[in-house]
A and B are shown apart, each in its own frame.
Chain A
Amino acid sequence: MVKIVNMEPLNPTLIKITLEAPHIAKKVKAGQFGILRVSEDGERFPLTIEDWDIEKGTISFVFQIAGASTQLMSYKKPGEYIADVVGPLGHPTDLSNAKSVCVVAGGSGCAIGFPVIRELNKMGVDVDAVIGFRNKDLVVLEKEISALTNECIVMTDDGSYARKGLVTEGLQSLIDSGKKYDKVITLGPLPMMKFVCKLTEKYGIKTLASMNPIMIDGTGMCGGCRLTVGGETKFACVDGPEFDGHLIDFDEAIARSTRYVPHEKKRHEEACNLFKKEVE
């Protein structure tokens, strides 16, 4: 059982959950993830570790309600418990030799990109960011990210806030303005990362994409998270979660991510109905 220290809605779709896990807080580095289980008999799902506090012995995750488990987790209150958290898993983000980096993130990817930006800033690396959201209401961490970056471009799909358009357009304008990057790090939905990688490939900018496929154990045991990188099969959990974005077979990753969509939909509806019943 893992105690919930805090629950903080960041926007109408994103929630930050802080858990008591001193042993994990002591070891985690930017880019690593954890696996959570909300209830006994619940499913295991991975989330990138967004923040941690060694002194307080806590770790935080930012999650979007995407299915039944995250729905159930969103109902939890501080002081309550979830069944399990295990981590830190995967390799930390490779920040070596970076001098000038652009972090390109979308939606909940902005939250998990935050510790990477913070780490780069601490290392004295020049960092820019392009962060994208569907609309104004969903914008998160703009202030925090702006404070740590030279330039932070906010994009919204519908133009209801800041610039209208996709993150690739924001990145394109930075490149056009003469910015030279030796690394781009991209985090967010698979199609977004696919197009970010297509763009950076054109300019020959080394790009790391943070992959978050379906997995069970997170330790290399199930192979469910496998993906093709440069023609070879890799496990996101132990070989990643970040890979050279120009070598990832995104179309295969997108196809694999849809494996359990009907099941997820059904369970999600059940979880929502359960809540409705409780409220009534």
Chain B
Amino acid sequence: MANMSMVKNPMPSQDPLVRGRNFDEVALGYTEEQVKSEAARCLNCKIPHCRKGCPVNLNIPAFIKAAGEGNYEEAYRIISLDSSLPAVCGRVCPQENQCEKFCNRGIKGESVAIGRIERFVADYHNAQPNIEVVKPEPNGHKVAVVGSGPASLTCAGDLAKRGYAVTIFEALHTPGGVLVYGIPEFRLPKAIVAKEIEGLKALGVEIKTDWVVGKVIDIAELREEYDAVFIGSGAGLPQFLKIPGENLKGVYSANEFLTRINLMKAYKEDAMTPITHPKKAAIVGGGNVAMDAARCALRLGAEEVSIVYRRGFDELPARKEEIHHAQEEGIQFRTLRGPVEIQGDMKTGVTGIKCQVMELGEPDEKGRRRPVPVEGEFEVVEADVVVIAIGTSPNPLIRQTTQNLEFNKKGGIVADDEKGQTSLENVFAGGDVVTGAATVILAMGAGKKSAAAIDEYIKSKK
């Protein structure tokens, strides 16, 4: 029997007042009963529009059907044909802009909660003891993968399943890229990322941590040693506002703030890595990273956390769900405030941000209304910790050390959309290093396409 409820089964979550003070996962996940009820909302449409919204083209109706029948392992098998990281995607994909946006149930009422069902299936599978992995027959070819974020993990997984000997080179001491240093524990528990990576290792993927490509080994050497190279090194270079006071004590890039907390576990009482626990924190920026930083600041014990954003509330680029969660937890939104100076002194550090008050003007080329200064009106947002979360650009190390590899004006690698082919013959690239900072699932889509292209390229050379 189809479940004709107009709304999704709500996601069980920690109470906002409680969760604002801990780093445990906010969303608790569906129960079996809820999964079955939600799966029954899927109409198993003849033309499944949801699939075209998915960058990895997951067979959504099929896995939902299996899940609805309680066949969770079968549902997992269907998902893993196309996705290497289901437990991650079920949590951090912006489904409302992808699969769920095209769901027919969404025309009248809410779409099917595809992401929540995916998450349940992946968690169910990961909770099983002794998951058996069949190691594919080696095909005798080697591929090097640079970086270990979502693009690289997907590419590595897909190639390993095809029998390639894959070696991942990761600069940090823990693999996972932005999944471990960027996205906080309360949105994506690190144990889940570790589990997905264990799965790749079981497929035979070798991971070399503490290897900085461009320093200890360069792309030219990798091209010699491997049949092909995939670069998925991400967009890790933080941008700053370039206003006075930005180097005062207490001013962090979002990367530093989140890396200290997520990768280095600075939020724990006995952590070796320090972090300044704010009383009043101000986060500059309005994207998902800004929301993550704000919610981390709150969990470090801040009494007051503000998002400072130069456009209006409706222009915030973060996911609606993230904004909603942040609001529930008591994060303040100081929109139409453009930082002009970070105030403080060398000894005590930052004391606040002086902001130009803005109003909305004409839409810009992207259709977002441009912020225009209100002549002579300023406001100071008090803060002892300021986090700059206004975006990142691709890391320059590979650019500085690779000859004949073409880059665009923003420092990204030039690679074709369909295959990720770069200007160098056996070098492919995908994810944020090509597009600039984007989403986990888009990076995964690029990694998947490149894996197919690398397979085709190597086979064509035989």
Instruction: Say whether A219 contacts B395, CB under 8 Å.
Output: yes
Inter-chain contacts of B256 with A (CB < 8 A): 216, 222-224
In the bound complex, how far is the Cα of B172 from the Cα of A233, in angstroms?
A: 24
Q: Taking the complex as formed, is A255 at the interface, i.e. its CB lies under 8 A from any CB of chain B?
A: yes
Inter-chain contacts of A87 with B (CB < 8 A): 212, 215-216
Contact with B along A34-58 (1 / 0, CB 8 A): 0001000111100000000000000
Instruction: Take A42-B272, A222-B238 as given contacts and tell me if A255 and B396 are in contact as well, using a CB distance cutoff of 8 Å.
Output: no
In the bound complex, how far is the Cα of B265 from the Cα of A81, in angstroms?
A: 22
Instruction: Take A27-B215, A86-B210, A221-B255 as given contacts and tell me if A252 and B395 are in contact as well, using a CB distance cutoff of 8 Å.
Output: no
Instruction: Say whether B271 contacts A41, CB under 8 Å.
Output: yes
Inter-chain contacts of B236 with A (CB < 8 A): 219-221
Inter-chain contacts of A68 with B (CB < 8 A): 272
Instruction: Say whether B173 contacts A259, CB under 8 Å.
Output: no
Q: Give residues of chain B (229-274) contacting chain A, Cβ–Cβ below 8 Å.
A: 236-238, 240, 242, 246-249, 252-253, 255-256, 259-260, 263-265, 271-274
- Report the stretch among A6-14, A112-120, A187-195, A260-268 that lies at the interface: A260-268
Instruction: Say whether A259 contacts B249, CB under 8 Å.
Output: yes
Instruction: Say whether A43 contacts B272, CB under 8 Å.
Output: yes
Question: Within the complex, what minimum Cβ distance (angstroms) separates A192 from chain B?
Answer: 19
Q: Taking the complex as formed, is B6 at the interface, i.e. its CB lies under 8 A from any CB of chain A?
A: no
Q: Taking the complex as formed, is A89 at the interface, i.e. its CB lies under 8 A from any CB of chain B?
A: yes
Which chain B residue lies CB-closest to A91? B400
Instruction: Say whether B397 contacts A44, CB under 8 Å.
Output: no
In the bound complex, how far is the Cα of B263 from the Cα of A84, in angstroms?
A: 14
What is the number of residues of chain B that contact chain A, defined by CB distance less than 8 Å? 40
> Secondary structure of the B side of the interface?
loop
Inter-chain contacts of B253 with A (CB < 8 A): 222-224
Inter-chain contacts of B246 with A (CB < 8 A): 233
Q: Taking the complex as formed, is A244 at the interface, i.e. its CB lies under 8 A from any CB of chain B?
A: no
Instruction: Say whether A260 contacts B171, CB under 8 Å.
Output: no
Q: Taking the complex as formed, is B347 at the interface, i.e. its CB lies under 8 A from any CB of chain A?
A: yes
Partner of A255, one of B171, B209, B216, B346: B346
Instruction: Say whether B173 contacts A84, CB under 8 Å.
Output: yes
Q: Give residues of chain A (217-251) contacting chain B, Cβ–Cβ below 8 Å.
A: 217-224, 226-228, 233, 238, 251
Q: Taking the complex as formed, is A88 at the interface, i.e. its CB lies under 8 A from any CB of chain B?
A: yes
> Secondary structure of the A side of the interface?
mixed
Q: Taking the complex as formed, is B439 at the interface, i.e. its CB lies under 8 A from any CB of chain A?
A: no
Instruction: Say whether B274 contacts A260, CB under 8 Å.
Output: yes
Partner of B347, one of A89, A224, A255: A255
In the bound complex, how far is the Cα of B272 from the Cα of A69, in angstroms?
A: 8
Q: Taking the complex as formed, is B276 at the interface, i.e. its CB lies under 8 A from any CB of chain A?
A: yes
Instruction: Say whether B272 contacts A221, CB under 8 Å.
Output: no
Q: Give residues of chain B (162-213) contacting chain A, Cβ–Cβ below 8 Å.
A: 171-173, 181, 209-212
Q: Taking the complex as formed, is A258 at the interface, i.e. its CB lies under 8 A from any CB of chain B?
A: yes
Contact with A along B374-410 (1 / 0, CB 8 A): 0000000000000000000001110000000000000
Instruction: Say whether B249 contacts A255, CB under 8 Å.
Output: yes
Question: Within the complex, what minimum Cβ distance (angstroms) separates B49 from chain A?
Answer: 39
Inter-chain contacts of B346 with A (CB < 8 A): 251-252, 255
In the bound complex, how far is the Cα of B257 from the Cα of A223, in angstroms?
A: 10
Instruction: Say whether B395 contacts A44, CB under 8 Å.
Output: no
State which size class the interface on A falls in.
35 or more
Inter-chain contacts of A42 with B (CB < 8 A): 272
Q: Give residues of chain B (52-101) contacting chain A, Cβ–Cβ below 8 Å.
A: none
Q: Taking the complex as formed, is A110 at the interface, i.e. its CB lies under 8 A from any CB of chain B?
A: no
Partner of A27, one of B216, B259, B263, B276: B216
Q: Taking the complex as formed, is A104 at the interface, i.e. its CB lies under 8 A from any CB of chain B?
A: no
Instruction: Say whether B240 contacts A83, CB under 8 Å.
Output: no
Inter-chain contacts of B11 with A (CB < 8 A): none
Q: Taking the complex as formed, is A198 at the interface, i.e. its CB lies under 8 A from any CB of chain B?
A: no
Which chain B residue lies CB-closest to A259? B249
Instruction: Say whether A220 contacts B274, CB under 8 Å.
Output: no
In the bound complex, how far is the Cα of B247 from the Cα of A255, in angstroms?
A: 10
Q: Taking the complex as formed, is B217 at the interface, i.e. its CB lies under 8 A from any CB of chain A?
A: yes
Q: Taking the complex as formed, is A179 at the interface, i.e. its CB lies under 8 A from any CB of chain B?
A: no
Inter-chain contacts of A85 with B (CB < 8 A): 210
Inter-chain contacts of B252 with A (CB < 8 A): 223-224
Instruction: Take A86-B173, A228-B247, A259-B276 as given contacts and tell me if A221 and B216 are in contact as well, using a CB distance cutoff of 8 Å.
Output: no
Question: Within the complex, what minimum Cβ distance (angstroms) separates B410 from chain A?
Answer: 15
Instruction: Say whether B171 contacts A267, CB under 8 Å.
Output: no
Q: Taking the complex as formed, is A77 at the interface, i.e. its CB lies under 8 A from any CB of chain B?
A: no
Which chain B residue lies CB-closest to A224? B256
Instruction: Take A219-B171, A223-B240, A259-B276 as given contacts and tell me if A88 and B260 are in contact as well, using a CB distance cutoff of 8 Å.
Output: no
In the bound complex, how far is the Cα of B275 from the Cα of A216, in angstroms?
A: 12
Q: Taking the complex as formed, is A24 at the interface, i.e. its CB lies under 8 A from any CB of chain B?
A: yes
Instruction: Say whether A222 contacts B272, CB under 8 Å.
Output: no
Instruction: Say whether A86 contacts B212, CB under 8 Å.
Output: yes
In the bound complex, how far is the Cα of B248 from the Cα of A251, in angstroms?
A: 11
In the bound complex, how far is the Cα of B210 from the Cα of A88, in angstroms?
A: 10
Chain A to chain B: the 4 pairs with minimum beta-carbon distance, closest first? A263-B274, A222-B256, A223-B253, A260-B274
21 A-B contacts, Cβ less than 8 Å apart? A23-B217, A27-B215, A37-B173, A41-B271, A43-B273, A43-B274, A84-B210, A86-B211, A87-B215, A89-B212, A216-B260, A216-B273, A219-B397, A220-B397, A222-B255, A233-B242, A238-B396, A251-B346, A252-B346, A255-B346, A256-B249
B contacts, CB < 8 Å to A: 171-173, 181, 209-212, 215-217, 236-238, 240, 242, 246-249, 252-253, 255-256, 259-260, 263-265, 271-274, 276, 346-347, 349, 395-397
A contacts, CB < 8 Å to B: 23-24, 27, 37, 41-44, 68-69, 83-89, 216-224, 226-228, 233, 238, 251-252, 255-256, 258-260, 263-264, 267
